[in-house]
Chains A and B, each alone.
Chain A
Amino acid sequence: MRDRIKLLQGDEAVVEGAIAAGAKFFAGYPITPASEIAEGLAERLPIYGGKFIQMEDELASMACVIGASLSGLKSITATSGPGFSLKQENLGLGMMIEIPCVVVNVQRVGPSTGLPTSPSQGDVMQAKWGTHGDHPVIALAPSSVKETFELTITAFNFAERFRTPVILLLDEIVGHMREKVVLPNEEDIEIWNRKKPEVGPEDFNPYQETDGLVPPMPNYGEGYRYHTTGLFHDKTGFPRGTNEDAKNLMDRLMAKIESNMDIISLYEEDIRDDDEIIVLAYGSTMRSAINAISQARKAGIKAGWIKLKTIWPFPADYIKEVGKRAKAIIIPELNRGQIIKEVRENIFGNAEVHGINKYDGTLIKPEEILNMIQEVK
């Protein structure tokens, strides 16, 4: 890592971020536009003592990632829409048995095989609701190559810290775009590792809260007896089939995320005191939004922007506050309107909410956002 200035693709930044975060395992199945992540990790992981395996499909690769994490390795898989659909069942298992891992989805236009090489943000709701049942979700969406590097590390850190799968949602633009980036020095990168049990194997329960909502996690093979199941279970990890266990576990799974919103919810804003029009965006669409805002400001329009880096959990309280002072909120998305529903649900003031939506595989251009700003001003 001598050369800190690099020309990196977003997908390659995931590779660099994963290595920097201490990833030691990748299982996956190649798919455009995420294959470069597998290619990069196949090359890099063995150098750092890690393992790469190409599985027969996405179902198996998600299962593999869960197994590797249980054995103590920081694990990651990467795919796109069609593969993300296949990973949902085991992703739910990962949430249920609280497995730290990172699942990357470089979004392309769906449904089905759709437009394999074109950008989309169509899997935002799938990231939240793709697997069945209520469940906790953390999903991060970078808008640049640099941010992809940073949020990959954050994804691993959240996964380890909150013992849960974390979804990293790129889109084809961010995944395939190359940018000149300066990577931080290793010593400047904050790394979290999962909490290990402080008791001996004889006193250990795998799903017992100790000093917080996140139970400590030993590695398989370290001598701790450790049962996992997708059934609702008690602190021993075994299912009893009771309604009480179901409620208690669900409440804890949700609470460990919801009570840490101040850590998990990442966003940036550039809103001046008198800005009335807010453009809220995430991923590659953010780039057009920032361009449009700077043009609007030059024309004397009072407009600002919000960039969501964490899209799930959705920052409802923050948006409620924004809704009180904004005249209009514009949400450009490469889908038929997904995050806009969350925004609408949290607006109680007079702010109008407008979407700009594209789902034909092309990008939203700055001028399209600028036009909307001029229309609503």
Chain B
Amino acid sequence: MDRFEIRLSGAGGQGMILAGIIIAEACLYEEGLNVTQTQSYGPESRGGASRAEVVLSKEVIDFPKVIKPDILVALTQKAYDKYYDDVKNEGIIIVDNSIELSDIKVKTYQMPIFEKAIEEVEMKLSANILVLGIIDSWIKQVKSSSLKKAIKKRVPEKTIAVNMKAFAVGKKLAEGGKIDEQGEY
């Protein structure tokens, strides 16, 4: 089974669901790649727990939700605590550096996601796109150019430039950051 599963989690309003939609949208540009994207959120529009899930496969996808993620992104402590234990042994976890880690079983990367969004992109709200930049190279099924195309299609037109910058900052963060086996960034 070539299922590849991504879970993006955080608080409502952090754009995790939009990030999930963008990954799914990018799959339109990859021939023969199927995708399902689902979400779970509370009734409130900001705050509350929010998670988006994306499943990629060359085969028909039956169960549409994540079973064991290959990639987990957690932007809040609550999300991390809830989901860190679900990740596949060979999977990875990306968290904001404000998050305290529990016993690390899989590769866990703490990164200054919000810090970079505020200081370098100058828009905290772009953290979700910055995250896409970070995980881009781990999603082998989808080309970087497809992700960029999908971002341009799904974010408000006025914010394309700033979001592309966020994506670039995210990529740089992933490539530049040397990560040891303990998962310290």
Verify if A287 is at the interface (C-beta below 8 Å from B): yes
Taking CB as reference atom, which chain B residue is nearest A6?
Answer: B28
Inter-chain contacts of B62 with A (CB < 8 A): 287-288, 290-291, 294, 366
Inter-chain contacts of B40 with A (CB < 8 A): 117-118
How many whole Å from B181's CB to the nearest CB in chain A? 31
Verify if B126 is at the interface (C-beta below 8 Å from A): no
Name 10 extra pairs, CB < 8 A, besides A179-B64, A287-B64.
A6-B28, A117-B43, A118-B40, A178-B21, A179-B34, A179-B61, A180-B34, A284-B64, A287-B63, A291-B63
Question: Given the interface contacts A7-B35, A176-B38, A178-B36, does A116 sit within 8 Å of B27 by beta carbon?
Answer: no
**Contact size class for B?**
20 to 34
Taking CB as reference atom, which chain A residue is nearest B21?
Answer: A178
Verify if A363 is at the interface (C-beta below 8 Å from B): yes
How many whole Å from A183's CB to the nearest CB in chain B? 13
Give complex CA distance A288, B36 in Å.
14
How many whole Å from A46's CB to the nearest CB in chain B? 22
Residue ranges of B at the interface with A (Cβ–Cβ < 8 Å): 21, 24-25, 27-28, 33-43, 61-65, 67
Q: Is the CB of B65 within 8 A of A363?
A: yes
Q: Mark A280-292, 1 if CB is under 8 A from B, else 0.
A: 0000100110110
Give complex CA distance A5, B34 in Å.
11
Question: Given the interface contacts A7-B35, A173-B38, A178-B36, does A365 sit within 8 Å of B43 by beta carbon?
Answer: no
Taking CB as reference atom, which chain B residue is nearest A113?
Answer: B43
Give complex CA distance A180, B64 in Å.
12
Q: Is the CB of B36 within 8 A of A179?
A: yes
Taking CB as reference atom, which chain A residue is nearest B154?
Answer: A7
Q: Is the CB of B64 within 8 A of A7?
A: no
Q: Is the CB of B28 within 8 A of A180?
A: yes
Verify if A319 is at the interface (C-beta below 8 Å from B): no
Inter-chain contacts of B41 with A (CB < 8 A): 117
How many whole Å from A47's CB to the nearest CB in chain B? 20
Verify if A250 is at the interface (C-beta below 8 Å from B): no
Inter-chain contacts of A179 with B (CB < 8 A): 34-37, 61, 64
Give complex CA distance A239, B33 in Å.
59
Inter-chain contacts of B67 with A (CB < 8 A): 365-366
